[in-house]
Chain A
Amino acid sequence: MAHKNIIPFGPQHPVLPEPIHFELVTEDEKIIDAIPSISYVHRGLERLVEKRDFIDYVHIADRICGLCSFMHCLGYCQAVEEIMAIQVPERALYLRTIWAELSRIHSHIFWLGVAADAFGFESLFMQSLRLRESVLDIFEETTGARVILGVCKVGGVRRDMDAETLEGIVNRLTTMKGDLEELSTVFINDYSIKHRLAGVGFISKEDAYALGCVGPMARASGLALDMRTIGYAAYKYLDVEPMVESAGDCYARCLVRIRENFHSIDLIRQAVSKIPEGPVDVKVKGTPNGEYFSRIEQPRGEVIHYVKGNGSKFLQRFRVRVPTFSNIPAMIKVLKGSDVADVPNIILTLDPCISCTER
């Protein structure tokens, strides 16, 4: 019987973009237990809702996380609009969808890059980040910022896009699609990548369901869970199809994200072809009184925004249940029994977003 050792992993680790700590209990090279601990970047953003006006809070919701900033904004606005019974114009819904899908593309390409970096494929990391740059350029031209977009507001969106810009986005994405295909072939077919990812970090469909997996982690195990199918924003007018793989390992999670990239490009094309003319916002009158759970699909999975208002202009409660948080139990399950050398890969294929998790 081998000795039990505890190996600390994180909060500072080359593969982790954000701080999360694991105590890995090992026996030889095998992990028998993993104890996670979070809250290194807690900022108390949920509590701030009591101090800021519900309209101004949108800017704070925007800053919960960098990669999914637009989604948090969208979820919060949707919840407030639902409480106040605001009818958001169709055009605003479509614009929101386009920005949300662009966010998904940039988050997934970033993930592909970081994953490549984790298994030691530096040049692929550089290629991915260069591709992502073209999405960030679209963001800057349409919203005025590269990462924290700040375009969503209660009652609609702040900026409109003319037909020419929309057409330009589709054209640029078509060009990007070619480059993305080239990049994807490397991820899908490369021998060393397959060697590092295939068969590593397996989680079965039943376990994924029982442990509450969401997003690409659940879809890679064969669960067709995609909140876009419930039809928030303009998704009800588009053909949304959850990208499902059945293998349940790291390679399958990588494939899901690659396929989602192409699906997002397709969704943007659909949205641009169907976008109606009209105003992009409505005037907001009154204050929210009531509560609502808003469910939307982030790049990492389903996010729930709970908003409770009491009739004053300061909300009473705001709570975010983020995808990373609900994926952590599954991650522990996956880590048990794996090799120490595979830990960085397993943790990364979950795509942990710690800023979201801790707010």
Chain B
Amino acid sequence: MKWFTMTKTVTKNLVNGPSTLMYPKRKRVFTKITRGRVENDIDKCIFCSICSKRCPTYALVVTKESKEWEIDCLKCCTCNLCVEVCPKKCLSMDNHYSPPVTEKTMGIHKQKAGSK
């Protein structure tokens, strides 16, 4: 039997401090390609609704008549499929997660053409 097998690890832990991130003080660094949330450049959007048809979780609702594009961030599984299929390339994947919400309806973000 060997003694003090983990002494090296224990010393390392004591010197280096915690390996978890001290969150509010130090923010998490996302990589460039992290799949965070879907953003739409609404002025370029032609409301073809290909994204809503292909969405695996039915998180997108597109209304052509009223020119509205709606995403439910709580349903979105950030698979990047809508960004890939978008013919006008107006959809993009932001590398930050969408902010936490306290109610289900607060996750729905509606965008209307010409409202910006």
Contacts and interface: CB of A to CB of B under 8 A. Distances in A.
A274 interface: no
Interface string B53-87: 01010000000000000000000011111000000
Contacts of A143: 33
Contacts of B33: 141, 143-144, 159
Given A59-B77, A59-B79, A145-B35, A189 B9 contact: no
Interface in B60-116: 77-81, 93
A237 B1 CA distance: 41
A63 B79 CA distance: 10
A98 B12 CA distance: 30
A133 B19 contact: yes
A182 B9 CA distance: 8
A186 B35 CA distance: 37
A63 B33 CA distance: 20
A144 B80 contact: yes
Given A182-B8, A191-B1, A150 B31 contact: no
Interface string A171-186: 0000000000010011
Nearest to A130: B19
Contacts of B81: 56, 59
B56 A59 contact: yes
B26 interface: no
A135 to B, nearest CB: 14
B106 to A, nearest CB: 24
Interface in A175-209: 182, 185-186, 189-191
Interface string B1-45: 110011011000000000100000000000101110000000000
Among A56, A148, A189, find the residue whose CB has the most chain B CB atoms closer than 10 A.
A56
A189 B31 contact: no
A122 interface: no
Report the contact-size class of chain B (Cβ under 8 Å from the partner): 10 to 19
Contacts of B77: 59, 63, 148
A249 to B, nearest CB: 20
A127 B35 CA distance: 28
The A interface, classified by DSSP as helix, strand, loop or mixed, is: helix
A139 to B, nearest CB: 10
A140 interface: yes
Nearest to A186: B5
Interface in A21-37: none
B34 A60 contact: no
A150 B82 CA distance: 13
Contacts of A145: 34-35, 78
Interface in A43-69: 52-53, 56, 59-60, 62-63
Contacts of B35: 144-145, 150
Given A52-B56, A63-B77, A127 B9 contact: yes
A258 B60 CA distance: 44
Contacts of B79: 59, 62, 150
A144 B54 contact: no
Contacts of A63: 77
Among A52, A59, A159, A185, find the residue whose CB has the most chain B CB atoms closer than 10 A.
A59
B31 A140 contact: yes
Nearest to B56: A59
B56 A60 contact: yes
A158 B80 CA distance: 10
A185 B1 CA distance: 11
Closest 10 CB pairs of A and B: A144-B33, A59-B79, A144-B35, A59-B56, A141-B31, A130-B19, A145-B35, A140-B31, A150-B79, A144-B34
27 contacts: A52-B56, A56-B54, A56-B81, A59-B79, A59-B81, A62-B79, A123-B6, A127-B9, A140-B34, A141-B31, A141-B33, A144-B34, A144-B93, A145-B34, A145-B35, A145-B78, A150-B80, A159-B33, A182-B6, A182-B8, A185-B2, A185-B5, A186-B6, A189-B1, A189-B5, A190-B5, A191-B1
Given A123-B6, A133-B19, A141-B33, 15 more contacts: A53-B54, A56-B54, A56-B56, A59-B56, A127-B9, A143-B33, A144-B33, A150-B35, A150-B79, A159-B33, A182-B9, A185-B5, A186-B5, A189-B5, A190-B5
